Amino acid sequence: MSIALITGITGQDGYYLSKLLLEKGYQVHGTVRRSSTFNTSRIENLIAEYSPSGQLSLHYSDLLDSTSLNTLVSTIKPDEIYNLAAQSHVAVSFENPVFTTQTGTLGSIALLESIRTSDKEIKFYQASSSEMYGGASEISLNEDSLLDPKSPYAASKVFAHNITKIYRESYDLFCVNGILFNHESPQRGETFVTRKISRAVARISVGIQNKLTLGNLDASRDWGFAGDYVKGMWMMLQHHTPDDWVLATGETYTVKEFLEEAFSVVNLDWDKYVESSEKYYRPNEVNYLLGDSSKAQNELGWKPETSFKNLVKMMVESDMELAVKENVLINEGLLKPTWNNSK
């Protein structure tokens, strides 16, 4: 049985990756910060199914504590490490740049050092990001495109990306960078724009929200499904040679187009419910991101399987179930709406 260690297992990608690996028969270990003890809701079903047998184990650890990471790696002896943990919200990285930079950089070095000093056969996946490119021009971006970060989050990702390459080349380690363009799902955090939209659409549809206020509606992104992208992560570590790969759909849509598609699922006109405010603009906007995943498709056999239309529909329908439950609780006096523009 192969053993995998996943940092950031309680996040969106951690959920889909751990589910994939568990279904493949892996023994999965995940790190959880002590402050995340009440944030395991995404993986509760996996815990219930796989923890009793010992196939899934969670460990308290912190990316800023290299000693705890070294001890964990030495104890569980993983075959593969997936470093997904980070403060991953771009807007928040401007508000808390120190913490964002620390988690995004020190964790990767600590894990790479642990591999270098304990077991060089361990394979390592680093979660890089399309935000590293900066989106200054409307071109399709690949593994050789210029990195031009526009946020503390993106800058920290560039560092982790480069240090991973340095360790691969300097110490002959099996280290890869997965440069993932935006990937969404019903498990996406509710502070991300796509989930803000799907949650609001569902609540507006059942009558418990009036409107939705967003920032730049013209920002354009290459949006895929997270469940497809974690397959690519796994494929990278099964490849015979370590390298860097872009995962993307090769299509880009604006926030406005996402809104149109989402509201169409419930037969509503988005323009009647959505407004834009500069309050929600980033200090340094990234206007356009489009990825070229031809290398991953040719070398790994990976390809995106979920269309943009189906992704949006999946997210709205999932949040409709939540909104219906919320409506019942509100009507029974058991829930007081806390979201903005609630009725």
pLDDT tens-digit readout, 277-294: 988 887 777 889 999 999
Other beta carbons within 10 Å of 152: 22
**pLDDT-based confidence at residue 36 (cuts at 50, 70, 90):** very low
What mean pLDDT is predicted for residues 305-317?
A: 98
- Domain locations along the chain: 3-184+223-247, 193-221+252-287+307-331
**pLDDT tops 50 at residue 114:** yes
User: Cα–Cα distances in Å, from 103 out to 34, 66, 164, 187?
Assistant: 15, 11, 15, 22
pLDDT tens-digit readout, 138-167: 789 999 999 999 888 999 999 999 999 999
* CA 272 from centroid of its chain's CA atoms: 30
Quick one: CA dihedral 40, 44, 46, 52, positive or negative?
Answer: positive
Q: Which residues are catalytic?
A: 129, 131, 153
What mean pLDDT is predicted for residues 44-70?
A: 90
What mean pLDDT is predicted for residues 197-215?
A: 96
Q: Which residues contact 261 (CB under 8 A, 6 or more apart)?
A: 253, 308, 309, 312, 313
Task: Look at residue 310 in the predicted model and tell me its pLDDT.
Answer: 98
DSSP assignments along 185-243, one per residue: -TTS-TTSHHHHHHHHHHHHHHTSB--EEES-TT-EE--EEHHHHHHHHHHHHHSSS--
* Range of weakest confidence among 55-69, 171-185, 219-233: 55-69
Q: What are 109's two structure tokens?
A: 């070095």
**pLDDT-based confidence at residue 326 (cuts at 50, 70, 90):** very high
**Which residues are registered as beta bridge partners of 172?**
none
What mean pLDDT is predicted for residues 13-25?
A: 97
Q: What are 342's two structure tokens?
A: 């609630």
Other beta carbons within 10 Å of 234: 20
Share of the chain above pLDDT 90, in %: 79
Q: Which residues contact 21 (CB under 8 A, 6 or more apart)?
A: 4, 6, 28, 234
Domain spanning 193-221+252-287+307-331 has what CATH number?
3.90.25.10
- Beta carbons of 215 and 281 less than 8 angstroms apart: yes
DSSP assignments along 90-156, one per residue: HHHHHHSHHHHHHHHHHHHHHHHHHHHHH-TT-EEEEEEEGGGGTT-SSS-B-TTSPP---SHHHHH
What mean pLDDT is predicted for residues 59-82?
A: 90
Torsion, Cα 277 91 312 307, to 10 degrees, reads: 130
Q: What is the DSSP letter of 342?
A: B
Q: Report which of 288, 223, 290, 296 is spatially closest to residue 261, judged by C-alpha positions.
A: 223
Q: What is the DSSP letter of 181?
A: P
Domain spanning 3-184+223-247 has what CATH number?
3.40.50.720
Task: Look at residue 37 in the predicted model and tell me its pLDDT.
Answer: 46
**pLDDT tops 80 at residue 229:** yes
Q: Which pTM was predicted? A: 0.94
CA–CA–CA angle 151, 155, 161 (5° rounding): 140
Q: How far apart are CA 243 and CA 165, in angstroms?
A: 8
Quick one: CA dihedral 191, 194, 200, 206, positive or negative?
Answer: negative
Per-chain mean pLDDT for the chain: 93
Q: What is the DSSP letter of 36?
A: G
Share of the chain above pLDDT 70, in %: 96
Task: Look at residue 154 in the predicted model and tell me its pLDDT.
Answer: 92
What mean pLDDT is predicted for residues 251-273?
A: 97
Please give the residue that has the higher pLDDT: either 270 or 85: 270
**pLDDT tops 50 at residue 26:** yes
**Which residues are registered as beta bridge partners of 128?**
179
